[in-house]
């Protein structure tokens, strides 16, 4: 039988896997061209939450050009549009995939820490309850 805490972990894990395992689906598509500047669209596997978007827009490692994810636009149909250049298109798409992976990893790490903290809090609470039971047991006949 699952404890309440295990059910909690299971539910949190489900939510975590849905929003922390976003991937690019299919191939990228150039949707606009102005000289060497391009707008590229990729389809995402799920709708990112605000935390994921924050991690995505502020990556750990990045290239410093217009392909930076802070310039990307998330659309309501789970597509992401970003700027690229004709000469660096393949590299820009690969970088966007790296930014997605970094956002996933950052969200997973944060959720794991939250779960660990919650488990520690629950253990402390259980220990206090057990301690109180022992104290009360020791004075019940007084």
Please give the Cα distance from 113 to 68 (Å, whole number): 27
pLDDT in tens, 14-39: 444 455 699 999 999 999 999 999 99
pLDDT in tens, 64-116: 677 889 899 999 999 999 999 999 999 999 999 999 999 999 999 888 888 98
Residue 26 Ramachandran class (φ > 0 left, ψ -120 to 50 alpha, else beta): left
- pTM exceeds 0.85 for this model: no
The residues spanned by each domain of the chain are 4-139
pLDDT given at position 59: 86
Q: Would you say 40 and 89 are in contact if contact means Cβ atoms under 8 Å apart?
A: yes
Run of H or E residues at 79: strand 79-85
pLDDT given at position 32: 96
């Amino acid at each position: 039988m699952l404890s309440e805490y295990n059910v909690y972990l299971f539910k949190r894990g489900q939510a975590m896997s849905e929003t922390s395992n976003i991937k690019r689906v299919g191939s990228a598509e150039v949707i606009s061209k102005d000289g060497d500047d391009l707008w590229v669209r990729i389809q995402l596997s799920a709708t990112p939450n605000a935390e994921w978007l924050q991690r995505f827009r502020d990556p750990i490692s990045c290239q410093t050009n217009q392909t930076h994810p802070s310039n990307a636009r998330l659309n309501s149909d789970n597509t992401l549009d970003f700027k690229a250049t004709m000469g660096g298109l393949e590299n820009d798409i690969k970088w966007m995939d790296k930014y997605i992976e970094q956002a996933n990893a950052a969200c997973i790490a944060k959720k794991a820490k939250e779960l660990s903290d919650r488990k520690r809090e629950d253990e402390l609470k259980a220990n206090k309850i057990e301690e109180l039971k022992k104290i009360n047991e020791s004075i019940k006949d007084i």
